């Protein structure tokens, strides 16, 4: 897993959200972009993380941030997740893992003593010029907004 670092140019990605709308890095030029990768929609940790970001969304907007959630879930699963919790930001359905792999967050994980490959919960903060300004790999799901808006 080759994780991107602060100062690296963010990968130019293209993926569809829960409504089938395509998002690319260039759509966000001139804004700060938070791209948060989570393992699976509607699971406890992912829900806590996304709800914390939702509850602090006005703070992000006030500081010129856009937010994008990304997982390998289908558009339908992302749609249900977004609708159920009323998220004000898009959720990308990266079923082919092209965005996940471009950011280097796919790799070995451990859960209850078992090892397997999956999405490592990681958040990237990208500046207005497409450069990675921060990488948060030790995500605290319940207070994630404060980790980003330090």
Q: Which of 19, 24, 20 is nearest to 35 (CA)?
A: 24
Catalytic residues: 46
Report how far residue 58's alpha carbon sits from residue 23's, in angstroms, rounded to the nearest whole number.
21
DSSP string, 54-89: HHTHHHHHHTTEEEEEEES--HHHHHHHHHHHT-SS
Q: Which of 79, 80, 126, 76 is nearest to 99 (CA)?
A: 126
């Amino acid at each position: 897993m080759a994780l991107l670092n602060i100062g690296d140019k963010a990968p130019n990605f293209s993926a569809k959200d829960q409504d089938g709308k395509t998002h690319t890095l260039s759509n966000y030029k001139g804004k700060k972009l938070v791209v948060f990768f989570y393992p699976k929609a509607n699971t406890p940790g992912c829900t806590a993380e996304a709800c914390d970001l939702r509850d602090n969304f006005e703070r992000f907007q006030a500081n010129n941030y856009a937010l994008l959630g990304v997982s390998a879930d289908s558009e339908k699963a992302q749609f249900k997740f977004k609708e159920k919790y009323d998220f004000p930001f898009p959720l990308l359905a990266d079923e082919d893992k092209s965005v996940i792999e471009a950011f280097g967050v796919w790799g070995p994980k451990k859960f209850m003593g078992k090892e397997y490959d999956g999405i490592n919960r990681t958040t990237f903060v990208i500046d207005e010029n497409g450069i990675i300004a921060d990488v948060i790999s030790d995500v605290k799901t319940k207070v994630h907004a404060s980790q980003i808006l330090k």
